[in-house]
Amino acid sequence: MSITYYGYPKCSTCKKAEKWFEVNGVAVDKNDISKNPPTEKELSEMIASSGLELKKFFNVSGQKYRELNLKDKLPTMTDGEKISLLASDGMLIKRPLVYGDGKVTVGFSEDNFENTWTN
């Protein structure tokens, strides 16, 4: 299974996720989400595969999210505009974002990782 991981080196949640992959012997292709965010096409595929609402992909607790006042702007934006915005700045994306073989996880939960990445 090929797994692509998007995280941020200074993020404590991302560090926990990376440690989980290491301890469980799961190989991932690591990407710094701030330098190499997923493309619009990749995000569209992830969102479709995840079954999650698009808003779940936004880092709502992030500084950039607050600076851009996205809480008020997102409801009036199209899905295409939201995906384009996410692809333009990886810091807007909830992390870690992990994708592989049609499976997606957003954020880190040990149970969710266990159920998704070891089966």
pLDDT tens-digit series, residues 58-109: 999 999 999 999 999 999 999 999 999 999 999 999 999 999 999 999 999 9
* Max CA separation in the chain (angstroms): 43
pLDDT in tens, 22-71: 999 999 999 999 999 999 999 999 999 999 999 999 999 999 999 999 99
Amino acid 75: pLDDT:
96
The gap from C-alpha 76 to its chain's centroid, in whole angstroms, comes to 22
Q: What's the rounded Cα separation, in Å, for the pair 6 and 28?
A: 10
Q: And the tokens for 46?
A: 């992830």
Residues 6 or more apart whose Cβ sits within 8 Å of residue 1:
100, 101
Task: Quote the CA–CA distance of 74 and 60 in Å, as a whole number.
Answer: 11
Residue-level pLDDT at 119:
64
Record the pTM: 0.93
Distance from chain centroid for Cα 101:
15
- How many other C-beta atoms lie within 10 A of the C-beta of residue 72? 8
